[in-house]
């Protein structure tokens, strides 16, 4: 894949990329290009790319762990744990984007440990577009509510829960939950339509910390994917919950609990964040997973070619 990846990013005007493949129990990863067209620093295997909304699967995993421990009922209104929140919204609505909460609310809540709590308090005062359970409406803000639920039930900030329950147990080293953690690594910078580096690395932390803020390497993203293949308690997250969903241009035919469902039993998620595009696809029946991380708005064309060659529905 090494020379092939170089060819693909050159063909589609993508400055840099990482690809990792999990097959037959082994992970192979390849890298190509540069982290920034300005600095020309080369992409390495341990470089970190923004994974955008793939963050949501990490949050969904933390929620499922709470369910497994008997601390959370997906169908019980979240106001049971978050007093004052909309009474009819349950965790299942949030995981399936059927809560009726608009896609993006922008509140300046800072970057401290109370950022998610303050966001949810501000969100409580907003009107929602639809009643819960009526229609699919993709919502970053809804996943911030799930992040707050995780905080309350674990009694610690969301990023600490991520460390304690996923990052450390999996032995991961490149996972960054915010920009302060990311700058300790070789970090990819997003690029716009013209190929120039973007001027902002991420949206404000308080806007979507548990919905689209993570960064990591492709290899470590697949270590997380392996957890989902190996742990039968997580398989329920991949079950069909919502059929009537928009294609979103990436071949989605249904929605699970956090997961996008594609054709032929393939599941995954896509992440878009300030000039970076990330893609994760898993074929559970074959034990196959592929991650493609790119630092360009043109990254989807590269990912589609790789998924097709791997036998996965793009």
User: In the structure, what pLDDT confidence band is assigned to residue 35 with cuts at 50, 70 and 90?
Assistant: very high
Q: Tell whether 144 and 192 lie within a shared domain.
A: no
What is the reported pLDDT for 126? 76
> Would you say residue 23 has pLDDT above 80?
yes
| Distance in angstroms (rounded) separating the CA atoms of residues 187 and 201 | 10
More confident residue, 264 or 51: 51
pLDDT band at 56 (very low <50, low <70, confident <90, very high): very high
Rounded average pLDDT over 115-127:
84
- In three state form, how does the secondary structure of 155-181 look? CCCHHHHHHHHHHCCCCCCCCECCHHH
Answer yes or no: is 165 within a domain: no
Last residue of one domain, picked from the residues 129, 159, 189: 159
188 and 284 fall within a common domain: yes
Round to whole Å and give the CA distance between 298 and 17.
Answer: 11
Q: Is residue 91 part of a domain?
A: yes
In this prediction, residue 313 carries a pLDDT of 61
Among 100-104, 207-211, 274-278, the range scoring the smallest mean pLDDT is: 207-211
Residue 67 tokens read as 């369910």
The reply to whether 90 and 21 lie within a common domain is no
- Do the Cβ atoms of 267 and 256 come closer than 8 Å? yes
- Residue 144 lies in domain: 59-159
* The dihedral formed by the CA atoms of 249, 254, 260 and 263, expressed in degrees to the nearest 10: -80
- Residue 258's CATH number: 3.40.710.10
Model confidence band, residue 203 (pLDDT cutoffs 50, 70, 90): confident
Residue 289 reports pLDDT greater than 80: yes
Same structural domain for residues 253 and 153?
no
Out of 93-97, 137-141, 192-196, 220-224, least confident range: 137-141
Question: What number is the average pLDDT over the span 74-96?
Answer: 95
Residues 192 and 300 in one domain: yes
- 237-272 burial, b for 16+ CB within 10 Å, e for fewer? bbeebbeebeeeebbbebbbbbbbbbeeebbbbbbb
242/139 Cα distance (integer angstroms):
14
Determine, yes or no, domain membership for 170. no
pLDDT at residue 189 is higher than 60? yes
- Which two tokens mark 83? 């007093």
In eight-state DSSP terms, residue 41 is P
In a domain, 230, yes or no: yes
Domain boundary among 159, 184, 205: 159
> Residue 73: is its pLDDT beyond 90?
yes
Catalytic, 53? Answer: yes
Looking at 106, 131, 159, the residue that finishes a domain is 159
**Judgement on whether residues 14 and 137 belong to the same structural domain of the protein:** no
| Residues 131 and 185 reside in one and the same domain | no
Whether residues 192 and 290 fall in one domain: yes
Give the count of domains, the chain. 2
Mean pLDDT of 272-276: 94
Determine the pLDDT at residue 2. 56
Q: pLDDT tens, 233-267?
A: 999 999 999 998 887 767 899 999 999 999 889 99
Model pLDDT, residue 207: 74
Catalytic-role residue among 53, 91, 99, 273: 53
**Per-residue pLDDT at 125:** 76
Interatomic CA distance for residues 263 and 266, integer angstroms: 6
Residue 169 lies in a domain: no
> The whole model's pTM is what?
0.95
39 and 186 part of one domain: yes
Q: Is the same domain home to 133 and 148?
A: yes
209/150 same-domain check: no
- The answer to whether residue 134 is domain-embedded is yes
Note whether residue 171 is domain-resident.
no
Is 266 inside a domain boundary? Answer: yes
Instruction: Give the DSSP letter of residue 202.
Output: S
In this structure, the answer to whether residues 201 and 299 fall within a common structural domain is: yes
């Amino acid at each position: 894949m090494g020379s092939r990846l170089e060819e693909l990013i050159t063909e589609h005007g993508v400055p840099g990329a990482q690809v990792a493949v999990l097959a037959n129990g082994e992970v192979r990863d390849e890298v190509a290009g540069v982290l920034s067209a300005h600095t020309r620093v080369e992409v390495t295997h341990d470089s970190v790319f923004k994974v955008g909304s793939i963050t949501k699967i990490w949050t969904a995993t933390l929620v499922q762990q709470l369910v497994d421990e008997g601390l959370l009922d997906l169908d019980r209104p979240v106001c049971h744990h978050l007093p004052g929140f909309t009474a009819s919204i349950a965790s299942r609505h949030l995981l399936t984007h059927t809560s009726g909460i608009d896609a993006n609310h922008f509140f300046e809540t800072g970057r401290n440990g109370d950022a998610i709590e303050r966001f949810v308090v501000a969100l409580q005062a907003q009107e929602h577009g639809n009643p819960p359970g009526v229609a699919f409406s993709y919502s970053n803000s809804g996943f911030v509510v799930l992040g707050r639920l995780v905080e309350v039930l674990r009694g610690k900030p969301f990023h600490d829960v991520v460390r304690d329950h996923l990052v450390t147990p999996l032995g991961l080293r490149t996972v960054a939950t915010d920009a302060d953690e990311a700058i300790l690594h070789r970090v990819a910078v997003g690029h716009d339509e013209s190929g120039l580096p973007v001027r902002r690395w991420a949206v404000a932390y308080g806007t979507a910390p548990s919905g689209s803020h993570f960064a990591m390497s492709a290899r470590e993203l697949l270590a997380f994917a392996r957890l989902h293949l190996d742990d039968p308690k997580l398989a329920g997250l991949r079950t069909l919950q919502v059929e009537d969903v928009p294609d979103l241009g990436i071949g989605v035919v249904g929605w699970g609990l956090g997961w996008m469902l594609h054709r032929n039993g393939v599941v995954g998620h896509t992440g878009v964040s300030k000039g970076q595009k990330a893609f994760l696809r898993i074929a559970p029946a074959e034990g196959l997973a592929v991650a493609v991380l790119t630092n360009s708005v043109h990254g989807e064309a590269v990912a589609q070619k790789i998924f097709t060659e791997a036998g996965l529905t793009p």
